[in-house]
A and B are shown apart, each in its own frame.
Chain A
Amino acid sequence: MTFVDDLTTVARREWTRWGGPVEKIDGTLIGFTDPRMEAKHPFWTYVGEYWQSIGIDLDGRDAPAWSGAFICYCFKQAGAKKRFPYQDNHSIYVSKIDSGKFAGLSLEDPAATTLAIGDLLWASRSGESCRTPPSNFADAKTELRKIREKTADSFCSHCDIVVAIRPGEADVIGGNVKQAVTRTTYKLDSNGRIRDGRRTFVGVIKVSL
Protein backbone atom coordinates (compact mmCIF):
# COMPACT_ATOMS: atom_id res chain seq x y z
CA MET A 1 0.00 0.00 0.00
CA THR A 2 1.32 3.44 -0.92
CA PHE A 3 0.63 6.57 1.09
CA VAL A 4 -1.83 7.71 -1.59
CA ASP A 5 -3.71 4.40 -1.20
CA ASP A 6 -3.92 4.99 2.55
CA LEU A 7 -4.99 8.61 2.10
CA THR A 8 -7.83 7.78 -0.30
CA THR A 9 -8.88 4.84 1.86
CA VAL A 10 -9.24 7.15 4.86
CA ALA A 11 -11.17 9.71 2.79
CA ARG A 12 -13.54 7.02 1.48
CA ARG A 13 -13.97 5.56 4.97
CA GLU A 14 -14.97 8.96 6.34
CA TRP A 15 -17.34 9.63 3.44
CA THR A 16 -18.98 6.25 4.07
CA ARG A 17 -19.27 7.12 7.77
CA TRP A 18 -21.36 10.16 6.70
CA GLY A 19 -23.67 7.94 4.65
CA GLY A 20 -22.12 8.75 1.27
CA PRO A 21 -23.51 12.18 0.26
CA VAL A 22 -22.86 12.94 -3.40
CA GLU A 23 -22.89 15.98 -5.68
CA LYS A 24 -23.04 14.56 -9.19
CA ILE A 25 -21.41 16.16 -12.20
CA ASP A 26 -24.71 17.79 -13.16
CA GLY A 27 -25.06 19.27 -9.68
CA THR A 28 -27.69 16.77 -8.51
CA LEU A 29 -27.44 16.10 -4.77
CA ILE A 30 -27.95 12.57 -3.42
CA GLY A 31 -27.74 11.08 0.07
CA PHE A 32 -27.97 14.22 2.19
CA THR A 33 -30.15 13.29 5.17
CA ASP A 34 -30.45 16.89 6.35
CA PRO A 35 -29.66 20.34 4.90
CA ARG A 36 -27.13 20.71 7.76
CA MET A 37 -25.87 17.22 8.42
CA GLU A 38 -22.87 18.61 10.33
CA ALA A 39 -25.21 19.83 13.08
CA LYS A 40 -26.88 16.44 13.58
CA HIS A 41 -25.75 13.58 15.80
CA PRO A 42 -23.57 11.62 15.25
CA PHE A 43 -22.04 13.73 12.48
CA TRP A 44 -20.95 16.61 14.69
CA THR A 45 -19.00 14.14 16.78
CA TYR A 46 -17.03 13.18 13.65
CA VAL A 47 -16.27 16.88 13.07
CA GLY A 48 -15.06 16.96 16.69
CA GLU A 49 -12.65 14.11 15.88
CA TYR A 50 -11.27 16.10 12.93
CA TRP A 51 -10.58 19.11 15.19
CA GLN A 52 -9.03 17.02 17.92
CA SER A 53 -6.71 15.30 15.44
CA ILE A 54 -4.86 18.62 15.07
CA GLY A 55 -5.01 19.51 18.74
CA ILE A 56 -7.84 22.04 18.53
CA ASP A 57 -10.27 21.74 21.40
CA LEU A 58 -13.59 21.93 19.56
CA ASP A 59 -16.30 19.30 19.78
CA GLY A 60 -17.81 19.77 16.31
CA ARG A 61 -20.76 21.94 17.30
CA ASP A 62 -18.71 25.07 16.81
CA ALA A 63 -18.76 27.77 14.15
CA PRO A 64 -15.35 27.55 12.41
CA ALA A 65 -15.13 26.05 8.93
CA TRP A 66 -13.83 22.51 9.35
CA SER A 67 -12.76 21.50 5.83
CA GLY A 68 -9.08 22.13 6.65
CA ALA A 69 -9.34 20.03 9.79
CA PHE A 70 -10.81 17.23 7.65
CA ILE A 71 -7.82 17.26 5.27
CA CYS A 72 -5.41 17.23 8.24
CA TYR A 73 -7.31 14.33 9.82
CA CYS A 74 -7.04 12.30 6.61
CA PHE A 75 -3.27 12.91 6.32
CA LYS A 76 -2.74 12.08 9.99
CA GLN A 77 -4.82 8.90 9.81
CA ALA A 78 -2.97 7.87 6.63
CA GLY A 79 0.32 8.11 8.52
CA ALA A 80 1.85 11.32 7.18
CA LYS A 81 3.17 12.15 10.67
CA LYS A 82 5.46 15.22 10.39
CA ARG A 83 5.51 15.17 6.62
CA PHE A 84 2.34 17.35 6.35
CA PRO A 85 2.00 20.93 7.70
CA TYR A 86 -1.13 20.51 9.81
CA GLN A 87 -3.21 23.74 9.88
CA ASP A 88 -6.96 24.22 9.85
CA ASN A 89 -6.69 27.00 7.23
CA HIS A 90 -6.02 25.65 3.73
CA SER A 91 -4.12 28.74 2.53
CA ILE A 92 -1.71 28.48 5.46
CA TYR A 93 -0.82 24.82 4.97
CA VAL A 94 -0.59 25.35 1.19
CA SER A 95 1.77 28.28 1.79
CA LYS A 96 4.01 25.96 3.79
CA ILE A 97 3.89 23.30 1.09
CA ASP A 98 4.73 26.00 -1.48
CA SER A 99 7.84 26.91 0.53
CA GLY A 100 9.40 23.66 -0.68
CA LYS A 101 10.16 22.51 2.85
CA PHE A 102 7.82 19.50 2.71
CA ALA A 103 9.31 16.81 0.53
CA GLY A 104 6.75 14.79 -1.40
CA LEU A 105 4.26 17.65 -1.53
CA SER A 106 4.27 20.27 -4.29
CA LEU A 107 1.92 22.95 -5.56
CA GLU A 108 1.17 22.91 -9.30
CA ASP A 109 -0.83 25.02 -11.75
CA PRO A 110 -4.27 23.41 -12.30
CA ALA A 111 -4.36 24.72 -15.88
CA ALA A 112 -1.24 22.70 -16.72
CA THR A 113 -1.55 19.65 -14.48
CA THR A 114 -3.16 16.30 -15.19
CA LEU A 115 -5.04 15.24 -12.09
CA ALA A 116 -4.13 11.99 -10.36
CA ILE A 117 -5.63 10.02 -7.50
CA GLY A 118 -4.38 11.36 -4.16
CA ASP A 119 -3.92 14.94 -5.39
CA LEU A 120 -5.44 17.78 -3.40
CA LEU A 121 -7.63 19.98 -5.57
CA TRP A 122 -7.47 23.54 -4.24
CA ALA A 123 -10.16 26.17 -4.96
CA SER A 124 -10.63 29.70 -3.69
CA ARG A 125 -13.94 30.62 -2.08
CA SER A 126 -15.81 33.56 -0.61
CA GLY A 127 -17.43 33.66 2.80
CA GLU A 128 -18.19 35.71 5.86
CA SER A 129 -15.10 37.68 6.97
CA CYS A 130 -13.12 36.48 3.95
CA ARG A 131 -10.88 38.85 2.05
CA THR A 132 -10.88 38.74 -1.76
CA PRO A 133 -9.33 35.38 -2.66
CA PRO A 134 -6.95 34.85 -5.62
CA SER A 135 -8.62 33.87 -8.86
CA ASN A 136 -5.76 32.03 -10.58
CA PHE A 137 -2.55 30.13 -9.90
CA ALA A 138 -0.21 33.10 -10.39
CA ASP A 139 -2.17 35.29 -7.97
CA ALA A 140 -2.39 32.41 -5.49
CA LYS A 141 1.40 31.98 -5.56
CA THR A 142 1.83 35.69 -4.85
CA GLU A 143 -0.61 35.54 -1.94
CA LEU A 144 1.07 32.44 -0.50
CA ARG A 145 4.43 34.20 -0.53
CA LYS A 146 2.90 37.17 1.30
CA ILE A 147 1.43 34.81 3.89
CA ARG A 148 4.88 33.26 4.46
CA GLU A 149 6.43 36.70 4.71
CA LYS A 150 3.64 37.70 7.12
CA THR A 151 2.68 40.67 4.93
CA ALA A 152 -0.81 39.31 4.26
CA ASP A 153 -3.45 37.38 6.15
CA SER A 154 -4.70 33.98 5.11
CA PHE A 155 -7.64 33.80 2.70
CA CYS A 156 -10.65 31.52 2.34
CA SER A 157 -10.23 28.46 0.19
CA HIS A 158 -11.01 24.76 0.10
CA CYS A 159 -9.26 21.48 -0.68
CA ASP A 160 -10.69 18.11 -1.68
CA ILE A 161 -8.88 14.79 -2.09
CA VAL A 162 -9.04 13.19 -5.55
CA VAL A 163 -10.24 9.60 -5.07
CA ALA A 164 -11.12 8.46 -8.60
CA ILE A 165 -10.42 9.49 -12.19
CA ARG A 166 -12.39 8.52 -15.29
CA PRO A 167 -12.17 9.95 -18.80
CA GLY A 168 -13.50 13.49 -18.47
CA GLU A 169 -14.38 13.21 -14.76
CA ALA A 170 -12.78 13.19 -11.32
CA ASP A 171 -14.35 12.21 -8.00
CA VAL A 172 -13.13 14.15 -4.98
CA ILE A 173 -13.96 13.89 -1.29
CA GLY A 174 -13.91 16.87 1.03
CA GLY A 175 -15.20 18.00 4.40
CA ASN A 176 -17.65 20.84 5.02
CA VAL A 177 -18.95 20.53 1.47
CA LYS A 178 -22.69 21.22 1.60
CA GLN A 179 -22.33 20.82 5.38
CA ALA A 180 -21.15 17.19 5.16
CA VAL A 181 -18.28 15.00 4.00
CA THR A 182 -19.27 14.89 0.36
CA ARG A 183 -18.06 13.18 -2.78
CA THR A 184 -18.23 15.60 -5.71
CA THR A 185 -17.71 14.77 -9.37
CA TYR A 186 -15.93 17.46 -11.40
CA LYS A 187 -15.35 17.84 -15.12
CA LEU A 188 -11.91 17.28 -16.65
CA ASP A 189 -10.80 18.26 -20.13
CA SER A 190 -9.42 15.80 -22.66
CA ASN A 191 -5.95 16.20 -21.11
CA GLY A 192 -7.22 15.26 -17.66
CA ARG A 193 -7.01 18.81 -16.31
CA ILE A 194 -9.73 20.25 -14.09
CA ARG A 195 -12.24 22.39 -16.05
CA ASP A 196 -15.39 22.90 -14.02
CA GLY A 197 -17.18 26.24 -13.72
CA ARG A 198 -18.60 25.50 -10.28
CA ARG A 199 -15.34 26.51 -8.62
CA THR A 200 -12.27 28.64 -9.25
CA PHE A 201 -9.41 26.19 -8.95
CA VAL A 202 -6.14 27.87 -8.02
CA GLY A 203 -3.85 24.92 -7.41
CA VAL A 204 -3.25 21.18 -7.40
CA ILE A 205 -1.13 19.71 -4.61
CA LYS A 206 0.73 16.66 -5.81
CA VAL A 207 1.25 14.04 -3.13
CA SER A 208 4.14 11.58 -3.41
CA LEU A 209 4.84 10.76 0.24
Chain B
Amino acid sequence: MAIHFDVVRDGKHYSARPDNASAFAIGSKVSYRNKKTGVERFGLSNDGGFFGSDEARKQLYVASDYQTVYPFWCDFIEPTAICEGQSFISLNTYDRARFTFGFGQFAAHVPDGDFIRWFRDMLQRPEVVDYFPNLEVRGGRIVKVEDSKIIPMEDAGSTEPLQLYFNPTLDDVEDAEVIAAAKLIHWTGSHPEARLLQVQHMINTASRLVKEADKRLGLDGRGADICCVVMDVRHQGRAGFDELQAALLAKKPFDALLEVGGHGEPERVKNLKAALVTRRAGLQQKKWSRSAGNFV
Protein backbone atom coordinates (compact mmCIF):
# COMPACT_ATOMS: atom_id res chain seq x y z
CA MET B 1 0.00 0.00 0.00
CA ALA B 2 1.53 3.30 -1.08
CA ILE B 3 2.58 5.65 1.72
CA HIS B 4 0.99 9.08 1.36
CA PHE B 5 3.29 12.04 1.99
CA ASP B 6 2.01 15.53 2.87
CA VAL B 7 4.26 18.48 2.13
CA VAL B 8 4.97 20.77 5.09
CA ARG B 9 6.39 24.19 4.21
CA ASP B 10 7.87 26.64 6.69
CA GLY B 11 9.33 29.58 4.79
CA LYS B 12 12.09 28.16 2.65
CA HIS B 13 12.27 24.97 4.71
CA TYR B 14 10.46 21.83 3.51
CA SER B 15 9.42 18.72 5.40
CA ALA B 16 7.12 15.81 4.63
CA ARG B 17 4.66 13.90 6.80
CA PRO B 18 4.09 10.22 5.94
CA ASP B 19 0.88 8.34 6.90
CA ASN B 20 0.20 8.62 10.64
CA ALA B 21 3.76 9.63 11.47
CA SER B 22 5.84 12.66 12.36
CA ALA B 23 7.11 15.04 9.72
CA PHE B 24 10.76 14.71 8.74
CA ALA B 25 13.07 17.24 7.14
CA ILE B 26 13.61 17.23 3.38
CA GLY B 27 15.72 20.33 2.70
CA SER B 28 15.79 24.04 2.03
CA LYS B 29 14.95 26.00 -1.06
CA VAL B 30 18.18 27.24 -2.56
CA SER B 31 19.03 29.20 -5.68
CA TYR B 32 21.89 28.84 -8.08
CA ARG B 33 22.86 31.39 -10.74
CA ASN B 34 24.71 30.07 -13.76
CA LYS B 35 27.82 32.23 -14.15
CA LYS B 36 27.83 31.97 -17.94
CA THR B 37 24.14 32.43 -18.74
CA GLY B 38 23.05 34.43 -15.68
CA VAL B 39 19.97 32.21 -15.40
CA GLU B 40 18.85 31.62 -11.81
CA ARG B 41 17.51 28.19 -10.86
CA PHE B 42 15.72 27.03 -7.71
CA GLY B 43 15.60 23.69 -5.98
CA LEU B 44 16.11 21.75 -2.75
CA SER B 45 19.29 20.96 -0.88
CA ASN B 46 20.06 19.31 2.44
CA ASP B 47 23.81 19.92 2.29
CA GLY B 48 25.69 21.23 5.31
CA GLY B 49 24.57 24.62 6.52
CA PHE B 50 20.99 24.20 5.38
CA PHE B 51 17.92 22.99 7.22
CA GLY B 52 17.90 19.22 7.18
CA SER B 53 21.63 18.81 7.43
CA ASP B 54 21.27 17.30 10.92
CA GLU B 55 19.04 14.61 9.43
CA ALA B 56 21.52 14.05 6.63
CA ARG B 57 24.36 13.70 9.13
CA LYS B 58 22.51 10.92 10.96
CA GLN B 59 22.75 8.71 7.89
CA LEU B 60 26.40 8.82 6.93
CA TYR B 61 28.23 6.33 4.75
CA VAL B 62 31.06 4.89 6.86
CA ALA B 63 33.37 2.39 5.14
CA SER B 64 33.80 0.15 8.18
CA ASP B 65 30.05 -0.63 8.17
CA TYR B 66 30.52 -2.46 4.85
CA GLN B 67 33.92 -4.07 5.43
CA THR B 68 32.55 -7.65 5.48
CA VAL B 69 30.68 -7.18 2.21
CA TYR B 70 33.03 -4.97 0.22
CA PRO B 71 36.49 -5.26 1.75
CA PHE B 72 38.83 -2.59 0.33
CA TRP B 73 36.31 -1.18 -2.17
CA CYS B 74 34.34 0.27 0.74
CA ASP B 75 37.53 2.17 1.71
CA PHE B 76 38.27 3.14 -1.89
CA ILE B 77 35.00 5.05 -2.32
CA GLU B 78 35.03 6.71 1.10
CA PRO B 79 37.10 9.82 0.21
CA THR B 80 34.75 10.61 -2.69
CA ALA B 81 31.73 9.92 -0.46
CA ILE B 82 33.09 12.42 2.07
CA CYS B 83 33.53 15.03 -0.67
CA GLU B 84 29.94 14.46 -1.83
CA GLY B 85 28.48 15.03 1.64
CA GLN B 86 28.79 11.42 2.85
CA SER B 87 25.06 11.13 3.53
CA PHE B 88 22.87 8.34 2.17
CA ILE B 89 20.10 10.96 1.82
CA SER B 90 22.13 13.81 0.32
CA LEU B 91 19.80 15.75 -1.99
CA ASN B 92 20.23 18.42 -4.66
CA THR B 93 17.51 19.43 -7.12
CA TYR B 94 18.66 22.84 -8.36
CA ASP B 95 21.27 22.15 -11.02
CA ARG B 96 21.19 20.79 -14.56
CA ALA B 97 20.89 17.19 -13.32
CA ARG B 98 17.48 18.28 -11.88
CA PHE B 99 17.71 15.58 -9.22
CA THR B 100 20.75 14.07 -7.53
CA PHE B 101 20.60 11.75 -4.56
CA GLY B 102 22.78 9.80 -2.16
CA PHE B 103 26.37 9.88 -0.96
CA GLY B 104 27.54 9.32 -4.52
CA GLN B 105 25.36 12.21 -5.78
CA PHE B 106 23.81 9.97 -8.42
CA ALA B 107 22.52 12.33 -11.11
CA ALA B 108 19.24 11.74 -12.96
CA HIS B 109 20.15 13.48 -16.23
CA VAL B 110 22.64 10.93 -17.61
CA PRO B 111 21.15 8.16 -19.80
CA ASP B 112 22.15 4.76 -18.41
CA GLY B 113 24.13 6.68 -15.76
CA ASP B 114 24.55 5.97 -12.06
CA PHE B 115 21.14 7.30 -10.95
CA ILE B 116 19.27 5.39 -13.63
CA ARG B 117 21.06 2.10 -12.96
CA TRP B 118 20.57 2.47 -9.19
CA PHE B 119 16.92 3.49 -9.47
CA ARG B 120 16.12 0.56 -11.78
CA ASP B 121 17.34 -1.78 -9.05
CA MET B 122 15.43 0.17 -6.37
CA LEU B 123 12.26 -0.30 -8.42
CA GLN B 124 12.71 -4.06 -8.26
CA ARG B 125 12.83 -4.12 -4.48
CA PRO B 126 9.66 -5.46 -2.81
CA GLU B 127 8.85 -2.28 -0.89
CA VAL B 128 8.62 -0.28 -4.15
CA VAL B 129 4.82 -0.43 -3.86
CA ASP B 130 5.07 1.77 -0.75
CA TYR B 131 6.87 4.49 -2.67
CA PHE B 132 6.55 4.39 -6.46
CA PRO B 133 3.66 2.03 -7.25
CA ASN B 134 3.24 3.47 -10.75
CA LEU B 135 6.86 2.99 -11.83
CA GLU B 136 8.27 -0.31 -13.09
CA VAL B 137 11.18 -1.73 -15.02
CA ARG B 138 10.11 -3.34 -18.28
CA GLY B 139 12.54 -4.61 -20.87
CA GLY B 140 15.36 -3.15 -18.76
CA ARG B 141 13.94 0.42 -18.84
CA ILE B 142 11.96 2.48 -16.33
CA VAL B 143 8.34 3.01 -17.36
CA LYS B 144 5.30 4.65 -15.80
CA VAL B 145 2.10 2.61 -15.77
CA GLU B 146 -1.02 4.78 -16.08
CA ASP B 147 -4.21 2.76 -16.25
CA SER B 148 -3.20 0.38 -19.00
CA LYS B 149 -0.82 2.82 -20.70
CA ILE B 150 2.93 2.24 -20.53
CA ILE B 151 4.91 5.48 -20.67
CA PRO B 152 8.70 5.22 -21.19
CA MET B 153 10.61 7.32 -18.65
CA GLU B 154 14.13 6.83 -20.01
CA ASP B 155 16.00 5.35 -22.93
CA ALA B 156 19.54 5.25 -24.27
CA GLY B 157 19.31 8.86 -25.45
CA SER B 158 17.38 10.70 -22.75
CA THR B 159 16.07 10.64 -19.20
CA GLU B 160 13.93 13.76 -19.59
CA PRO B 161 10.55 12.17 -18.66
CA LEU B 162 12.05 10.80 -15.43
CA GLN B 163 13.74 14.13 -14.65
CA LEU B 164 10.40 15.91 -15.07
CA TYR B 165 8.66 13.30 -12.92
CA PHE B 166 11.10 14.00 -10.09
CA ASN B 167 11.41 17.75 -10.64
CA PRO B 168 8.90 19.44 -12.98
CA THR B 169 10.73 22.80 -13.25
CA LEU B 170 13.84 24.59 -12.05
CA ASP B 171 11.82 27.81 -11.60
CA ASP B 172 10.52 26.92 -8.15
CA VAL B 173 10.20 24.06 -5.64
CA GLU B 174 7.09 22.08 -6.58
CA ASP B 175 5.15 19.62 -4.42
CA ALA B 176 6.06 16.81 -6.85
CA GLU B 177 9.75 17.54 -6.24
CA VAL B 178 9.35 17.56 -2.44
CA ILE B 179 7.33 14.33 -2.50
CA ALA B 180 9.82 12.54 -4.77
CA ALA B 181 12.62 13.60 -2.39
CA ALA B 182 10.53 12.53 0.63
CA LYS B 183 9.97 9.08 -0.87
CA LEU B 184 13.66 8.47 -1.52
CA ILE B 185 14.69 9.80 1.91
CA HIS B 186 12.06 7.72 3.73
CA TRP B 187 12.84 4.60 1.69
CA THR B 188 16.58 4.91 2.27
CA GLY B 189 16.16 5.55 5.99
CA SER B 190 13.70 2.71 6.54
CA HIS B 191 15.39 -0.14 4.68
CA PRO B 192 19.03 -1.18 5.30
CA GLU B 193 19.06 -3.08 1.99
CA ALA B 194 18.28 0.17 0.17
CA ARG B 195 21.42 1.65 1.73
CA LEU B 196 23.38 -1.47 0.80
CA LEU B 197 22.15 -1.06 -2.77
CA GLN B 198 23.43 2.52 -2.81
CA VAL B 199 26.86 1.32 -1.66
CA GLN B 200 26.78 -1.44 -4.29
CA HIS B 201 26.06 1.06 -7.05
CA MET B 202 28.69 3.53 -5.90
CA ILE B 203 31.25 0.72 -6.01
CA ASN B 204 29.98 -0.31 -9.47
CA THR B 205 30.40 3.31 -10.60
CA ALA B 206 33.89 3.57 -9.11
CA SER B 207 34.91 0.28 -10.73
CA ARG B 208 33.65 1.45 -14.13
CA LEU B 209 35.49 4.76 -13.81
CA VAL B 210 38.78 3.06 -12.89
CA LYS B 211 38.48 0.60 -15.78
CA GLU B 212 37.69 3.44 -18.20
CA ALA B 213 40.59 5.54 -16.90
CA ASP B 214 42.92 2.53 -17.15
CA LYS B 215 42.15 2.25 -20.87
CA ARG B 216 42.98 5.92 -21.41
CA LEU B 217 45.76 6.49 -18.89
CA GLY B 218 47.35 3.08 -18.25
CA LEU B 219 46.76 2.55 -14.54
CA ASP B 220 47.90 -1.09 -14.49
CA GLY B 221 50.21 -1.51 -11.47
CA ARG B 222 49.42 1.94 -10.07
CA GLY B 223 48.58 2.23 -6.37
CA ALA B 224 44.97 2.53 -5.26
CA ASP B 225 45.76 5.96 -3.77
CA ILE B 226 46.55 7.24 -7.27
CA CYS B 227 43.48 5.48 -8.73
CA CYS B 228 41.29 6.95 -5.97
CA VAL B 229 42.17 10.52 -6.98
CA VAL B 230 41.72 9.72 -10.69
CA MET B 231 38.31 8.19 -9.92
CA ASP B 232 37.26 11.22 -7.88
CA VAL B 233 38.24 13.63 -10.68
CA ARG B 234 36.29 11.58 -13.24
CA HIS B 235 33.31 11.14 -10.92
CA GLN B 236 32.99 14.86 -10.39
CA GLY B 237 33.98 15.60 -13.99
CA ARG B 238 36.35 18.39 -12.99
CA ALA B 239 39.04 17.57 -15.56
CA GLY B 240 39.68 15.51 -18.66
CA PHE B 241 42.14 12.73 -19.40
CA ASP B 242 44.79 15.14 -20.80
CA GLU B 243 45.20 16.89 -17.47
CA LEU B 244 45.20 13.58 -15.61
CA GLN B 245 47.85 12.18 -17.95
CA ALA B 246 50.08 15.21 -17.40
CA ALA B 247 49.73 14.80 -13.63
CA LEU B 248 50.54 11.08 -13.81
CA LEU B 249 53.80 11.95 -15.63
CA ALA B 250 54.84 14.45 -12.96
CA LYS B 251 57.68 13.70 -10.50
CA LYS B 252 55.14 13.33 -7.67
CA PRO B 253 52.02 12.06 -9.43
CA PHE B 254 49.85 11.78 -6.30
CA ASP B 255 50.47 15.41 -5.36
CA ALA B 256 50.02 16.55 -8.97
CA LEU B 257 46.75 14.65 -9.32
CA LEU B 258 45.40 16.31 -6.20
CA GLU B 259 45.82 19.69 -7.89
CA VAL B 260 43.95 18.68 -11.06
CA GLY B 261 40.80 20.78 -11.44
CA GLY B 262 41.66 22.68 -8.26
CA HIS B 263 41.26 26.12 -9.85
CA GLY B 264 37.57 25.50 -10.54
CA GLU B 265 36.79 23.37 -7.48
CA PRO B 266 39.11 24.51 -4.67
CA GLU B 267 36.75 23.35 -1.90
CA ARG B 268 36.42 19.87 -3.38
CA VAL B 269 40.17 19.49 -3.73
CA LYS B 270 40.68 20.70 -0.15
CA ASN B 271 38.15 18.14 1.14
CA LEU B 272 39.71 15.33 -0.90
CA LYS B 273 43.18 16.13 0.43
CA ALA B 274 41.85 16.14 3.99
CA ALA B 275 40.02 12.83 3.48
CA LEU B 276 43.15 11.18 2.09
CA VAL B 277 45.51 12.27 4.88
CA THR B 278 44.53 9.34 7.10
CA ARG B 279 43.42 6.99 4.34
CA ARG B 280 46.27 7.10 1.83
CA ALA B 281 48.46 4.54 3.59
CA GLY B 282 45.63 2.00 3.58
CA LEU B 283 44.90 2.55 -0.07
CA GLN B 284 48.58 2.17 -0.99
CA GLN B 285 48.42 -1.45 0.15
CA LYS B 286 46.84 -2.46 -3.14
CA LYS B 287 47.52 -1.84 -6.82
CA TRP B 288 45.23 -1.86 -9.84
CA SER B 289 45.50 -5.00 -11.96
CA ARG B 290 44.17 -4.75 -15.50
CA SER B 291 44.12 -8.52 -15.93
CA ALA B 292 42.18 -9.07 -12.70
CA GLY B 293 39.97 -6.03 -13.25
CA ASN B 294 40.43 -5.33 -9.57
CA PHE B 295 42.84 -4.15 -6.92
CA VAL B 296 45.33 -6.83 -5.84
Contact = CB atoms under 8 A, between A and B. Distances in A.
Interface string A66-96: 0000000000000000000000000000000
Interface in A101-143: 123-126, 130, 132-133, 135
Counting chain A residues whose Cβ lies within 8 A of the other chain, the interface size class is 20 to 34
Is the contact region of chain B dominated by helix, strand, or loop, or is it mixed?
Answer: helix
Contacts of A195: 68-69, 196
A65 interface: no
A189 B69 contact: yes
A126 B127 contact: yes
Given A187-B200, A195-B69, A200 B126 contact: yes
Output the residue of A35, A189, A197, A198 with the most chain B CB within 10 A: A197
B167 to A, nearest CB: 25
Interface in B64-116: 68-71
Contacts of B208: 26
B205 to A, nearest CB: 9
B125 A190 contact: no
A27 interface: yes
B207 interface: yes
Given A26-B204, A198-B121, A198-B124, A126 B198 contact: no
A56 interface: no
Interface residue SS majority, chain A:
loop
Contacts of B191: 135
A21 to B, nearest CB: 11
Contacts of B139: 35-36
Interface in B122-177: 124-129, 138-140
A35 B138 contact: yes
Nearest to B190: A135
A112 B257 CA distance: 43
A29 interface: yes
B194 interface: yes
Contact of B125 (A32, A132, A178, A200): A200
B137 to A, nearest CB: 9
Interface string B232-271: 0000000000000000000000000000000000000000
Given A126-B129, A197-B198, A29 B140 contact: yes
A197 B196 contact: yes
Contact of B197 (A135, A178, A197): A197
A196 interface: yes
Interface size band for B: 20 to 34
A40 interface: no
A16 interface: no
A13 interface: no
A124 B126 contact: yes
B226 interface: no
A208 interface: no
B230 interface: no
A125 B126 contact: yes
Contacts of B69: 187, 189-190, 195
B126 A197 contact: no
A132 B133 CA distance: 12
Nearest to A190: B68
Contacts of B128: 126
Contacts of A133: 126
A197 B200 contact: yes
Nearest to B199: A197
A154 B198 CA distance: 30
B193 A190 contact: no
Contacts of A33: none
B21 interface: no
Given A35-B138, A187-B70, A200-B193, 7 more contacts: A26-B208, A32-B140, A135-B126, A135-B191, A156-B126, A190-B68, A199-B193
7 contacts: A27-B201, A27-B204, A178-B140, A189-B69, A190-B71, A195-B69, A197-B193
